[in-house]
Amino acid sequence: MARVRNQDARRSQLAAVAIDVIAERGLGAVRVKDIAEAADVSPRLVAYYYPEIDDLIDEVYRVAVDRYYWQRLEAINKLESPVDRLANLIESGLPAGDDDVLSRALYEFSVNAGRDPTHGTLMTLLFEREVSLYVAVLEAGGASGDFTLTEPVQAIAQNFVALEDAFGMYLNGGNSSLDASAATGLLRSYARSATGVHL
């Protein structure tokens, strides 16, 4: 791995590597040694930037939350139609397969959120951000006449996020009764009942 000179770049590199390690091993099994090995650096260097493993884990969670939110926002901002934006949100809210390490890492953190106040706060922030994505799209679709909303915007948005989180948990957990296609279909079914739009 190329040498990283800038301290911010080194921190970003370690956080990115830690996301992969957490997704692969699970949050409870992550050690400084694992992250150092994956980053091709010494454990001492990891400890220099993050004296406590919890400091690195907190940073990883912040990075993962930010990246997940901004990726989705950037994707819908490229689309004109509220209908297309809603379809994109539905698809991007579910794990993209076994290679979706960001989604797996976030689910690892969500399990820990009830035990760690910092993670609980970040989980709340992620939920609120995801809801805000749906709120913006639903309000635009209601204003344009593309959607006929059957419930208040906030309630629909929260239901979408809760459904995608629940389906994502089952998909990441390897539930053989549900695959990504079926989960997407169920979210689209909810979209039909909540907005009147067939996606």
Residue 2 lies in a domain: no
pTM beyond 0.75, yes or no: yes
What gap in Å lies between CA 194 and CA 188, rounded to an integer? 10
Position 16 scores a pLDDT of: 83
pLDDT confidence bin for 1, thresholds 50/70/90? very low
For 94-127, write each residue's pLDDT tens digit: 877 666 777 777 777 776 666 767 767 777 888 8
Examine residue 40 and state whether it is found in any structural domain, yes or no: no
Rounded CA separation 16/63 (Å): 8
User: Could you report the per-residue pLDDT of 162-177, keeping only the tens digit for each?
Assistant: 999 889 888 877 778 8
Give the relative orientation of helices 101-112 and 7-25 as an angle to the nearest 10 degrees: 80
Q: How far apart are CA 159 and CA 17, in angstroms?
A: 33
Tell whether the torsion through CA atoms of 42, 46, 49 and 51 is positive or negative.
negative
Most distant CA pair in the chain, distance? 59
Cβ neighbours, 10 Å, residue 105: 24
**Residue 15, in any domain of the structure:** no
Domain around 159? 58-195
Pick from 93, 65, 71: nearest CA to 157: 93
Please count the structural domains in the chain: 1
Residue 156 lies in a domain: yes
Domain harbouring 153, CATH code: 1.10.357.10
pLDDT digits (tens, 9 = 90+) for 10-30: 888 888 888 888 878 777 777
pLDDT score of 12: 83
Q: What is the pLDDT of residue 58?
A: 81
Tens-digit pLDDT profile for residues 123-136: 788 889 999 999 99
Which residue type does 188 have? Answer: R
